[in-house]
Amino acid sequence: MTQATASATMASAQTPSGSLLANLRQELARYTPFSLMAVADLDFFLSHAEQLYFAPGEILVEPGSGEVNRLFLIRRGAVSGKSGLADLEGGAFQYETGDLFPISAAIAHRAVTATYEATEDTFVLALAVEAMQTLAQQSVPFADFLNRRVLKFLDLSRQALQVAYSSQTLAEQSLETALGDLVQRAPVTCRPETPLRTALTEMHERRIGSMLVTSERGEPLGILSREDVLGRVTLGAVPLETPIAEVMVSPVHHLSHEHTAEDAALLMSRHTIRHVPITRDGVVIGIVSERDLFAMQRLSLKHVSTSIRAAVDVDMLKLVAQDIRRFARSLLSQGVQARQLTALISHLNDVLTERLLELKAAEHGVDLNRLCWLALGSEGRSEQTIATDQDNALILPDDSSAAHRQAALAFARAVNQALDDCGYPLCKGGIMAGNPACCLTLREWRERFSQWIEHGAPQDLLNASIYFDFRPLAGDLTLAQRLRAEVNRSASRVPRFLKQLALNALTREPPLNWMGGIAADDNGYIDLKLQGTALFVDAARLYALSQGLPATATRERLEAVGPVLGVTAAEYEAWVRGFEFLQMLRLQIQLEGAAKGEQPNHIVVDSLNDIDRRILKETFRVARSLQQRLQLDYER
């Protein structure tokens, strides 16, 4: 008899009696998935479970135990999983009160790959696998949890966040709504040969703001809005018998029914339009207007971005910039995901920067087409949170004169200062376009990047982690495109540089202790940026560079490299989910703690609710697993 079998045999066993069901039911209802299950299903679990006790150091189950025959729920105490193949799957980990394990092994009818040992006096309820299967067939919440444990926790976390912010919400409907669900009626359309008089008369009689021009099949060919009539018809003295095809705006920006209200809002903001046709299988099924989206949001993306673009000076931009934080809080209250939220924040920051560039270029007599403004770091990845400083640079054409360079520097310093005035602090490391070291010709940037790749000194690696996530924001975008192609080509050809990047990324580890629990500092804090998101960002950058991928956003990088590396979809989706959960926590902290002057990325672990604390631990385990993949790929 093995030690594990002996421990289980010696453990005191007791099936809960009827008199205990009510109390145990109330106890279980504090944890997921039991809080979502019907009373009859809770009673089934309790009546079929066996209560066991394990002393510290006793083993509940190990690889040598053979195929798993029981699922454990911890009532009180803690269990660690370690050694064996667990080292290949994320190292040691710890289960606490309310946790179910080992789910994967129980579902797959296999042995566990780790040794599960009680770390303190531990009481568990053990459910036979056969009873687990029966319960899963009759309880949807239980089955859903078994198959999608981490995803279910994430969904519950988002729901809790929505409730917490519901009293502060400025919105009435989620930006995640599919556009197909917003379309209420068929669009008013006409054919390209329709005379202007007919089209304009119908617009007037129906009191609509635009006329969509479609093919016979219903594909969008162009659009004419009320705003277009003045410039394209009236001022041009175009005869009203003219076919609408000669004055319509074409091609027309459109989205499919699967896109979201957020996609429509971004499209309207980026292209300064007010109507977006919605298609299904290429055929128009409706039109979503700015008014439709405004009805969803009292504070809309279009409203904020339009206010930014209409600003005539820095003082006005300083006021409008405050709306970005309010808008972020509004979106957080809707339960908008971190990816969308950071993308929207980054977009609004882009719009503000672009407006500042226009204003300062006019003041300094600078031609924006003779340079390219780069966003670096988190803004380059479109992953900005609320608390963010500046990281930017300039690319100048190779034929730039000394005078042109000096003018560009003066212009850039003015923009940097204006951004600081608007609430984007100056970079303490001096990584700003107004610094001569960050205002270089294309040839100089190529030489600098090549030097970093060839030498790989510690400072070179630090620079690469910031500069290599660049994204063009304004000016001559071809300068940045040529530089991106050069970086990807050079980095993928120098294995030594990639290995150095990997070793540098591995100097930071997720905050987990030897038992797999969250290891906070002496004050109970962890840094969600340096100890969390940075781990995913560094790995995503390295793999993207190694494969020559053009993407800069961490999510897109992880999703792109996963299949290339031969990783299962479940694994790289876990990378993405973990990264985005950390981003959401950072945003929540920054929105709540800004007024209190708290550290923007530090969180007290004990302040988290039970669900978020569990997801955080799972996320750090995912990060550790990702780092172990880096070790296997590069540390040899």
- Indicate if the pLDDT at residue 202 is higher than 90: yes
Question: For residue range 139-190, what is the model confidence (pLDDT) as tens digits?
Answer: 988 987 886 654 545 555 555 554 444 433 333 346 677 898 888 778 899 9
Q: Which residue has the higher pLDDT, 263 or 322?
A: 263
Q: List, for residues 117-135, the tens digit of each pLDDT value.
A: 999 999 999 999 999 999 9
SS3 93: strand
Query: Looking at the predicted structure, is the pLDDT value of residue 403 above 90?
Result: yes
Domain match, 11 and 127 both: yes
Same domain, 47 and 100: yes
Range of the domain at 43: 3-147
Residue that finishes a domain, picked among 124, 147, 170:
147
> Which pLDDT band, with edges at 50, 70 and 90, does 300 fall under?
low
- Reply yes or no on whether the pLDDT at 103 is more than 80: yes
- Confidence bin at 294 (pLDDT 50/70/90): low
Q: Does residue 58 sit in the same domain as residue 193?
A: no
Sign of CA dihedral 444, 471, 423, 273: positive
Based on the number of CB atoms within 10 Å of its own CB, is 294 exposed (0-12), middle (13-18) or buried (19 or more)? Answer: middle
Same-domain pairing of 14 and 111: yes
pLDDT value at residue 453: 94
User: Is 381 contained in some domain?
Assistant: no
Distance CA 154, CA 157 (A): 5
Residue 490 has pLDDT above 50, yes or no: yes
Residue 161 is assigned to a structural domain of this protein = no
Please check whether residues 183 and 75 belong to one and the same domain: no
pTM of the model: 0.62
Q: Which of 600, 343, 370, 585 is nearest to 471 (CA)?
A: 343
Q: Identify whether residues 285 and 243 lie together within a single domain.
A: yes
**Exposed e or buried b per residue across 295-330, where buried means at least 16 C-beta atoms within 10 angstroms of its C-beta:** ebbeebbbbbbbbbeebeebeebeebbebbeebbbb
Averaged pLDDT for residues 392-399 = 97
For residue 121, is it within any domain? yes
What is the model's pLDDT at position 343? 81
| 221 three-state secondary structure | strand
pLDDT for the residue 255: 95
Residue 121 sits in the same domain as residue 220: no
Lowest mean pLDDT among 72-76, 343-347, 372-376, 417-421: 343-347
Last residue in a domain, options 252, 269, 296? 296
9 and 134 in a single domain? The answer is yes
Query: Could you tell me if residue 218 is inside a domain?
Result: yes
CA distance 314 to 319: 9
Neighbours of 534 (CB within 10 A): 18
Which sign does the torsion angle of CA 312, 365, 374, 417 carry?
A: negative
Domain for residue 12, yes or no? yes
Q: How confident is the model at residue 415 (pLDDT cuts 50, 70, 90)?
A: very high
Looking at residue 155, its pLDDT comes to 54
| pLDDT confidence band for 318 (50 / 70 / 90) | confident
Determine the longest span between alpha carbons in the chain, in angstroms: 97
Summarize the confidence of residues 20-30 as an average pLDDT. Answer: 82
**CATH number, domain with residue 21:** 2.60.120.10
* Residues above pLDDT 70, as percent of the chain: 88
565 domain-assigned: no
pLDDT, tens digit, for every residue of 455-477? 888 899 989 999 999 999 999 99
Whether pLDDT at 316 is above 80: yes
The answer to whether residue 257 is domain-embedded is yes
- Output 321 or 123, whichever has higher pLDDT: 123
Output the CA angle 593-599-605, nearest 5 degrees. 80
Q: Greater confidence, 554 or 587?
A: 554
CA distances from 257 to 8, 116, 214, 287, 478 (A): 56, 48, 17, 10, 33
What was the pLDDT predicted at 259? 93
CATH number of the domain within which 284 lies: 3.10.580.10
Highest mean pLDDT among 23-32, 54-63, 73-82, 172-181: 54-63
Q: Could you tell me which residues come within 8 angstroms of residue 165 by beta carbon, excluding any fewer than 6 positions away?
A: 329, 332, 333
Check residue 162 and give its pLDDT. Answer: 46
Tokens of 332: 């957080």
**Do 183 and 59 reside in the same domain of the chain?**
no
Give the residue with greater pLDDT, 509 vs 105: 509
Residue keyed to tokens 């340096």 = 530
Task: Give tens-digit pLDDT for 212-268.
Answer: 999 999 999 999 998 889 889 988 899 999 999 999 999 999 999 999 888 898 898
Same domain? For 183 and 138 the reply is no
Domain check: are 133 and 49 in the same one?
A: yes
- Asked whether residue 17 is assigned to any structural domain, the reply reads yes
Say if residue 134 is in the same domain as residue 183: no
Give me the torsion for CA of 245, 246, 250, 252, rounded to 10°. -40
pLDDT, tens only, 578-616: 999 999 889 888 877 654 556 788 999 888 887 788 889
- The answer to whether the beta carbons of residues 500 and 456 sit under 8 Å apart is yes
Which of 245, 261, 296 finishes a domain? 296
Number of domains in the chain: 2
